Structures are given as structure tokens and as C-alpha cells.
């Protein structure tokens, strides 16, 4: 059992000191993941990796500390928290009073890991939510890669699947997302 898993179990048992011991163990890894994701954002991004890590950690270990089964579950939840933070920030930027507007967007073959404008990020997130309804495992892998900054191999390891399965999920997700985003003459994301 890893130190992280041991501490997560202690937190689940109500040990308040364990919450303080968790951050030093996971901080650097979370910071690397946040840096990788923010490195793909458009220039002018005001959110720093440190702020993203802190915000995600606060959401994970907030007032109602959730129960994490193990290290993999924790880092999956961290990737999801980072995704939600970035999507919330994109929605905030997109509001009409902030100069945003809806427009059509094409998803090309390499669009899963490209620079993200608020429009692109919102459209992508909505498509990813629809993908999760069809294939949750493929959607998890995309979240870990796109939002968590993990390679396919790292995502496969965290999800406990083989590399071959990860590439199969990735190919399916990429094709499905491309089809979902590009169908119809106009794509207007829901607010």
C-alpha cells in the first residue's frame, strides 16, 4: 500500500492530521499535471499551475472530505477537479458581458490536446460529457490526458488498463468526439 493510499485511508477514518500529511506527498505531482495542462492553454492565461493545484486540492479535501479508495482514485478525482475549474473559468470568460459569443467549431484529428479558447473548451467539455454517457472509461482516459496532462501510458496505469486498451479507447474517443462536434451546420453550446 502506497503512502498516499495509507493517508487517504486515515482521512477516511477521520484522522484530521492525515489531511495535513497528504498535500506534501501529492503536491509536486499535482503541480506537474497542472503545468502540463496549462502549458497547452492559449497565451495570456491568467491561472497559474500553483493556483490550479490549490483550487483543485481545496475542492478535493474541502469541508466534506470525500472517501478515496486509493492513489488512482485520488488522482482521477484531481484531474476531474482541474477539468471543472478550467471549464468554470472558460464559462466565466465566455459570458456575453465579458465579450464571449457562441460560434461553430471544427474538431480536427489533433484537436484533443490543442490550445484551448473558452469556446473550444466549452464545446469540447459538452462533447466529453456526452461521450461519458456512452463510454465512461474512454471519457476518463480523455480527461486524464487532456485535463490532467497525463500520457496515454500514465492514464492507462492510473485506470488499471493495458496500453493497448488505452490506445483503443483513445482512437474511439477521438473519432467519436470529432463526429459529435462536427455534426450539424451550427453548433451552439448550452449555457
- Residue-wise pLDDT for 134-169, tens only, equals 999 999 999 888 888 888 888 898 899 999 999 999
Query: Stretch 41-50: mean pLDDT, rounded?
Result: 70
pTM: 0.52
The three-class DSSP label of residue 135 is: coil
Lowest mean per-residue pLDDT among 13-22, 42-51, 134-143? 42-51
What is the predicted pLDDT for the residue at 79? Answer: 83
Pick left, alpha or beta for residue 149 (phi over 0 → left; psi -120 to 50 → alpha; otherwise beta).
left
Range in 106-110, 126-130, 139-143 with the lowest mean pLDDT: 106-110
| pLDDT > 50? residue 123 | yes
pLDDT above 80 (res 77): yes
pLDDT at 184 (0 to 100): 41
Mean pLDDT for the chain overall? 77
Please choose, from the candidates 22, 150, 178, 177, the residue with its C-alpha nearest in 3D space to the C-alpha of residue 79: 150
pLDDT, position 110: 36
Average pLDDT over residues 5-24: 80
Greater pLDDT, 188 or 145: 145
DSSP string across 22-78: HHHHHHHHHHHHHHHHHHTSPTT----HHHHHHHHHHHHTSSSPPP--SHHHHHHHH
- How much is the pLDDT for 122? 83
**DSSP run (H or E) holding 83:** helix 71-94
Amino acid at each position: 500500500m502506497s503512502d498516499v493510499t495509507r493517508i487517504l485511508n486515515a482521512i477516511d477514518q477521520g484522522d484530521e492530521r492525515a489531511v495535513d500529511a497528504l498535500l506534501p506527498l501529492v503536491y509536486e505531482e499535482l503541480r506537474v499535471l497542472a503545468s502540463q495542462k496549462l502549458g497547452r492553454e492559449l497565451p495570456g492565461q491568467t491561472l497559474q499551475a500553483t493556483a490550479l493545484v490549490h483550487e483543485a486540492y481545496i475542492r478535493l479535501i474541502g469541508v466534506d472530505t470525500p472517501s478515496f479508495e486509493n492513489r488512482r482514485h485520488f488522482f482521477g478525482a484531481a484531474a476531474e477537479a482541474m477539468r471543472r475549474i478550467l471549464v468554470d473559468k472558460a464559462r466565466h470568460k465566455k459570458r456575453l458581458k465579458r465579450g464571449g459569443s457562441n460560434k461553430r467549431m471544427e474538431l480536427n484529428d489533433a484537436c484533443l490536446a490543442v490550445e484551448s479558447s473558452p469556446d473550444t473548451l466549452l464545446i469540447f467539455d459538452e462533447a466529453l460529457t456526452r461521450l461519458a454517457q456512452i463510454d465512461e472509461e474512454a471519457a476518463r482516459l480523455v480527461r486524464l490526458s487532456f485535463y490532467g496532462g497525463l500520457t496515454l501510458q500514465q492514464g492507462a496505469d492510473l485506470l488499471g488498463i493495458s496500453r493497448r486498451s488505452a490506445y483503443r479507447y483513445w482512437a474511439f474517443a477521438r473519432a467519436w468526439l470529432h463526429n459529435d462536434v462536427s455534426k450539424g451546420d451550427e453548433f451552439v453550446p448550452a449555457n
